[in-house]
């Protein structure tokens, strides 16, 4: 999202992902937390929580979100977040995986 800072965390179980997303939603205002999404990652059946924060949210609040999501999830590197999100769409492999196997 333009004008925002996004975090992505991967969870092995849907219940964990939903619980952490609810906690995040409870701890942040609508002005701070612009979007909160839950995806199922097709290649490994794990779940991705993506949280988009307003550009003016202090770094300390982003650190709070990282700590909360990191209690049960694994951080997804910002460079890989788009590939993870594409992995929620049917019929396609993520770009890095296609490149790994020699595709384009």
For the segment(s) 4-100, the CATH number from 3.30.70.60, 3.20.20.150, 3.40.50.1100, 1.10.1660.10 is 3.30.70.60
List, for the chain, all residue ranges whose pLDDT scores fall below the cut of 70.
1-4, 87-104
- Residue 43: the pLDDT is 80
- Residue 95: the pLDDT is 61
- Residue 20: the pLDDT is 96
- Residue 59: the pLDDT is 95
Q: What is the pTM of this model?
A: 0.77
What is the helix (H) or strand (E) element at residue 20, kind and residue range? Answer: helix 14-27
Residues paired with 4 in a beta bridge: 54
**Residue 94 and residue 43 in contact, taking contact as beta carbons nearer than 8 Å:** yes
Chain segment 56-66, per-residue pLDDT in tens:
999 999 999 99
Question: Residue 45 gets which letter from DSSP?
Answer: -
Q: Which of 42, 49, 55, 41 is nearest to 18 (CA)?
A: 49
- Residue 81: the pLDDT is 80
Q: Which of 41, 67, 36, 76 is nearest to 52 (CA)?
A: 36
Domain residue limits, the chain = 4-100
Rg (CA), the chain: 14
């Amino acid at each position: 999202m333009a004008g925002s800072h996004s975090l992505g965390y991967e969870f092995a179980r849907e219940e964990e992902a939903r619980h952490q997303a609810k906690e995040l939603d409870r701890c942040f205002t609508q002005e701070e937390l612009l979007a909160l999404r839950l995806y199922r990652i097709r290649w490994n059946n794990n779940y991705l929580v993506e949280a988009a924060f307003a550009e003016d949210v202090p770094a300390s609040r982003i650190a709070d979100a990282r700590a909360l999501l990191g209690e049960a999830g694994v951080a997804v590197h910002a460079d890989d977040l788009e590939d993870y999100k594409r992995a929620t769409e049917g019929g396609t492999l993520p770009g890095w995986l296609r490149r790994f196997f020699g595709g384009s």
